[in-house]
Amino acid sequence: MIPSVPVFKLYGEQQDRLGPDLLHCETISLRSRVHDWEIRPHRHADLCQLLYVHQGRAQVEVEGQRHILEQSAVQVIPPLCVHGFEFSPNVEGFVLTLAAPLVAQLQAQLGDNISLLQRVASYPAGKDSDYLNNLFSELQSEYDSVRPAREMLLQSLVSVLLVWVARQVLQRREARQLLPRGHEYLGLFNQRVEAQFRQQPSVEQLAHQVGISVAHLNSICRELAGQSALQIIHQRLLLEAKRHLIYTPMTISEVADSLGFADPAYFARFFRRLSGTSPSTFRTGRTDIISPP
């Protein structure tokens, strides 16, 4: 027999705590710390959730599929969707829960052509990270308050948040409509990355060379390659670093210098962040490849 998936109001609770506001807002750590930073798979019958990860790491499991948020992002979880999370202890962020009637009301204001909260989606915050963190912080502060006109301000803040999400939806839609041209742009971008990655060009420089905006380039990269433009550049640098560490006798400082890192310590931090291990440990683990017979 397949075990049933728990249906909660809020995780671990059977009682409805949303009240007349039709929403609930709390920090990620408030609930996840109690559960050893793991929220086991569950679902909500009539609630939509927006998880905002500002700092730290979150492993998101939705309907059996897992992905990791390591950069600031908003994760949308629709009603009845089986989901769970594992957070790093240093995680910072918020969970906003919206009742179905409030979602319907806000959706009506945006119009039927923009479906915001009916499908699972993750939206990187990018340059809006601090803006979103301040917005969620204000939401959580107002939710916990008893100030006059509290409900009006709460709904206004939620509306601002959903406008941000709506713009991400529209941006992705436009990127999909431009997919045939997008393949061409991605090809040009990859060519320039291959030619210039050792100089560590900025995303702005490469977008200018391709002839499109940074936002457009990032949309294409995420849609067609599943990564941001900066992640593609960093992955190419990491690949070359691994090649040098495996197949050449270059010192770690020499590898760093050859890839445009003026500071070997910064290169080591970069390598560890992307690969999960230090350059020296990585090389030691691959000595069977570079050692003579």
Q: What is the pTM of this model?
A: 0.59
Going by C-alpha positions, the residue among 106, 104, 45, 48 that lies closest to residue 76 is: 48
| pLDDT number for residue 290 | 40
Q: Which of 65-79, 108-122, 156-170, 258-272 has the lowest mean pLDDT?
A: 108-122
Average pLDDT over residues 117-135: 92
Does the structure show a pLDDT above 60 at 159?
yes
**What count of other Cβ atoms lies within 10 Å of the Cβ of residue 292?**
3
Side-chain-side CA neighbours of 196 within 13 Å: the count stands at 16
pLDDT band at 178 (very low <50, low <70, confident <90, very high): low
pLDDT band at 21 (very low <50, low <70, confident <90, very high): confident
Average pLDDT over residues 165-174: 85
- Reported as type and span, the H/E element at residue 75 is strand 73-77
Residues in the chain: 293
| pLDDT number for residue 76 | 94
Average pLDDT over residues 243-258: 94
| pLDDT number for residue 112 | 64
Backbone angles phi, psi at 37, to 5 degrees: 65, 20
Could you give the domains of the chain? 19-176 (2.60.120.280), 179-290 (1.10.10.60)
Listed in sequence order, the residues at least 6 apart from 91 whose beta carbon sits closer than 8 Å to its beta carbon are: 28, 29, 32, 37, 53, 55, 56, 57, 58
Q: Which of 104-108, 122-126, 133-137, 276-280 has the lowest mean pLDDT?
A: 104-108
pLDDT band at 45 (very low <50, low <70, confident <90, very high): confident
| pLDDT number for residue 114 | 65
What's the chain's average pLDDT? Answer: 87
Side-chain-side CA neighbours of 77 within 13 Å: the count stands at 28
| pLDDT number for residue 185 | 92
284 CB burial (10 A radius; 0-12, 13-18, 19+)? exposed
Which DSSP string do the residues of 108-165 spell out, in sequence order?
Answer: HHH-TT---SSS-EEEE-GGGHHHHHHHHHHHHHHHT---TTHHHHHHHHHHHHHHHH
53-82: b (≥16 Cβ within 10 Å) or e: bbebebebbbeeeeeebebbbbbbbbbebb
pLDDT band at 182 (very low <50, low <70, confident <90, very high): confident
**What count of other Cβ atoms lies within 10 Å of the Cβ of residue 25?**
23
| pLDDT number for residue 116 | 76
Please write the tens of the pLDDT for every residue from 207-223.
999 999 999 899 899 88
pLDDT band at 32 (very low <50, low <70, confident <90, very high): very high
